[in-house]
């Protein structure tokens, strides 16, 4: 039985073109700025984002951490939605390592932080208060089911930040999914923020790596902070070579992942005992619940694992499924057959 792994788009394997590019990559010491392949990736990424400069880092977590270390000093405050990946799933790194004070506001279902609450949360100048320095947003929004923020929604955050003298950081781990779903150039989204982090290693299928992009000054500061957290890598062109292929060959096809996620959502909606709103599925991530007397997610997860369908159990009541490179429409149909079977068995 073939396994269908829908836990995350991080399980994607590098493509044949990536392995070839890695094998052939010209290398140098990137801490000296001498790796030609890293330099090429950073220039390409900056161009795609419409920013002055970009920096390769080893993960999305490092990208957000280094960006926020660069914007904020110890005791400064950042404001973000309470479902932000940086708040929920990055081990509190900005506080642990940066002494940055994180303040959350409610996250709306559409992926936006409650903007009025964000505005109220911005501190007045007063020696009792931490200084608010940055607002952060996430696009697409992981824990809001891959929700997409429009250019206009992002612009509303930018306007607020400008009015109050703050910077905006975008956790754009899946910013290319957002751009493809909206049908806009990714630079239109990046133009709404001062800094952006995106992952090469998720839907774009590279084995390792994230990029941060922003002004030349910001990236110069970020380069130092990357060194501080031990993220200066030497012949990193091995990684960057795959990143170049990711940007050149793997962006357009994300539309397929979105179609497959919607196909999965429509199919799940037909299965008794599964609770899902297919119309909320905009990109490659979907969440669903299970209902029924005595049906529990742990049992469902076990029954699915037995049938070779792997999902992420994100909390006691919900599952997350993520479509990605390597998952075809046929795999989705096969997963649906196995999920329906498992649900039937558990209902009996
Ligand atoms: C995955 C993810 C990250 C972190 O990326 P890693 O490479 O796993 O560290 C950050 N933000 C969001 C929204 C993510 O989905």
Using most ligand atoms within 8 A of CB, pick from 199, 209, 229 the residue to mutate for ligand 1: 199
CA of 128 to the centre of ligand 1 (A): 34
Same fold, 10-249 and 253-347: no
Per the CB < 8 A criterion, the answer to whether 123 and 129 are in contact is yes
Q: How far is the CA of 342 from the centre of ligand 1 (A)?
A: 31
Can you list the alpha helix ranges (DSSP code H) found in the chain?
16-24, 36-49, 60-71, 85-88, 93-98, 115-121, 151-164, 175-182, 186-190, 216-228, 237-249, 254-269, 297-306, 329-347
Q: What pLDDT was estimated at residue 329?
A: 98
Measured between alpha carbons, how far is 168 from 106 in angstroms, rounded to an integer? 17
Task: Tell how many helices (H) and how many strands (E) occur in the chain.
Answer: 14, 13
Pick the closest to residue 82 from 40, 36, 164, 141 (CA basis): 141
Return the pLDDT at 317.
81
Q: Specify the pTM.
A: 0.97
Which segments in the chain show pLDDT lower than 50? none
CA angle 32, 36, 37 (to 5 degrees): 120
Instruction: Find the residues whose C-beta lies inside 6 A of ligand 1.
Output: 59-61, 64, 85, 138, 142, 171, 173, 199, 201, 210
How far is residue 223's CA from residue 188's CA, in Å, rounded to a whole number? 25
Largest CA distance in the chain: 64
pLDDT digits 0-9 by tens, 140-189: 999 999 999 999 999 999 999 999 999 999 999 999 999 999 999 999 99
All structural domains of the chain with their residue ranges: 10-249, 253-347
pLDDT (tens digit per residue) in 83-133: 999 999 999 999 999 999 999 999 999 999 999 999 999 999 999 999 999
Give the model's pLDDT for residue 262: 98
The second-level CATH assignment, the architecture, of 253-347 is Alpha-Beta Complex (3.90)
Protein residue closest via CA to atom 4 of ligand 1: 60
| Predicted local distance difference test score (pLDDT) of residue 292 | 76
Structure confidence at residue 295 (pLDDT): 74
Instruction: Give residue 339's pLDDT.
Output: 97
Pocket probe mutation, ligand 1, options 87, 142, 146, max atoms within 8 Å of Cβ: 142
Q: Which atom of ligand 1 sits closest to the CA of residue 60? A: 5
What separation in Å is there between the alpha carbon of 202 and the centre of ligand 1?
8
Contact status, residue 154 vs residue 189, Cβ threshold 8 Å: yes
| CATH architecture observed for domain 10-249 | 3-Layer(aba) Sandwich (3.40)
């Amino acid at each position: 039985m073939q396994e269908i792994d829908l836990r995350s788009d991080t399980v994607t394997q590098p493509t044949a073109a990536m392995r070839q590019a890695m094998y052939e990559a010209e290398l140098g010491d990137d801490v000296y700025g001498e790796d030609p392949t890293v330099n090429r990736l950073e220039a390409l990424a900056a161009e795609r984002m419409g920013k002055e400069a970009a920096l390769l880092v080893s993960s999305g977590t490092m990208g957000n951490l280094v960006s926020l270390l660069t914007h904020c000093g110890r005791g400064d405050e950042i404001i973000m939605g309470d479902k932000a990946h940086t708040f929920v799933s990055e081990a509190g790194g900005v506080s642990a390592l940066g002494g940055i004070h994180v303040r959350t506001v409610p996250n709306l279902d559409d992926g936006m932080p409650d903007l009025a609450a964000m505005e109220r949360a911005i501190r007045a100048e007063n020696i009792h208060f931490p200084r608010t320095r940055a607002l952060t947003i996430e696009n697409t929004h992981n824990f809001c089911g891959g929700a997409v923020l429009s250019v206009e929604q992002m612009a509303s955050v930018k306007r607020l930040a400008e009015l109050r003298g703050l910077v905006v950081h975008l956790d754009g781990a899946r910013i290319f999914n957002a751009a493809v779903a909206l049908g806009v150039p990714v630079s239109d989204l990046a133009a709404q923020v001062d800094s952006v982090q995106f992952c090469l290693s998720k839907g774009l299928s590279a084995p390792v790596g994230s990029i941060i992009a922003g002004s030349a000054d910001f990236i110069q500061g970020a380069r130092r902070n990357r060194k501080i957290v031990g993220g200066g890598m030497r012949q990193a062109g091995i990684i960057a070579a795959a990143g170049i292929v990711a940007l050149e060959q793997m962006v357009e096809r994300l539309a397929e992942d979105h179609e497959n996620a919607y196909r999965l959502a429509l199919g799940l909606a037909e299965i008794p005992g599964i609770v899902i709103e297919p119309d909320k599925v905009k990109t490659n991530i979907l969440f669903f619940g299970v209902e029924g007397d005595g049906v529990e997610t742990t049992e469902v997860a076990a029954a699915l694992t037995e049938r070779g369908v792997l999902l992420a159990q994100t909390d006691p009541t919900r599952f997350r499924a993520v479509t990605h490179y390597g998952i075809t429409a046929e795999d989705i149909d096969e997963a649906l057959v196995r999920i329906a079977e498992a649900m039937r068995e558990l209902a009996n």
